[in-house]
Amino acid sequence: MEDIPDDASWKDWFERHGPKLLLCARQWTRSLADAEDVVQEAFVRFWRRQRQLGGAPLALLITSVRRAAVDLARRNARRGAREERAEGGMENTEPIFETPLEGDDRRQAIESALRQLPAEQREVLVLKIWGELTFEQIAAQLDIPPNTAASRYRYALAALREILTAADCHG
């Protein structure tokens, strides 16, 4: 994990880590628009008040993103909007990954496979691979033991492999 230099530009840091943060936020929000709002709110909060805290900056940022997502969900629940959107679960029409290769069959297969994973496994997988967190950091994020985080990761990889292999055989 990298430290934030004293002379670092928030724009440079956001440009470098924004896509990872957005992917993480998508695991805790109902839409891409909500994820973008959460990332913006969390990044501003982090940059203004939390970047001087001890610890790995990216892990702190992901914690901030998760808290902002929880706050948003609570606000939505109070307004009743969440129940209206909950009918279909996660929106399958919005891509999880932003990529110029919109027709890429492999990307679509991976997105579909990710959506088929249990939420607990998908969350750990995203935090480990795209968030680049250790199992200890993931455990702290999710309030689970590190061994549970590691086993969810292993189960997620095995399930992805099985889903993608089956898709390759049928496709």
Per-residue pLDDT of the chain (171 residues; tens, 9 = 90+): 455 655 567 788 888 888 888 888 888 888 889 999 999 998 888 888 776 676 778 888 888 888 888 888 888 777 664 455 455 454 455 555 555 444 567 777 777 888 888 989 988 988 888 888 899 988 988 889 999 999 999 999 999 889 888 877 765
Instruction: Report the candidate in 83, 80, 81, 113 with the shortest Cα–Cα distance to residue 96.
Output: 113
In sequence order, the 6+-apart residues with CB closer than 8 A to the CB of 166 are: none
Q: Which domains does the chain have, with CATH numbers?
A: 1-94 (1.10.1740), 103-171 (1.10.10.10)
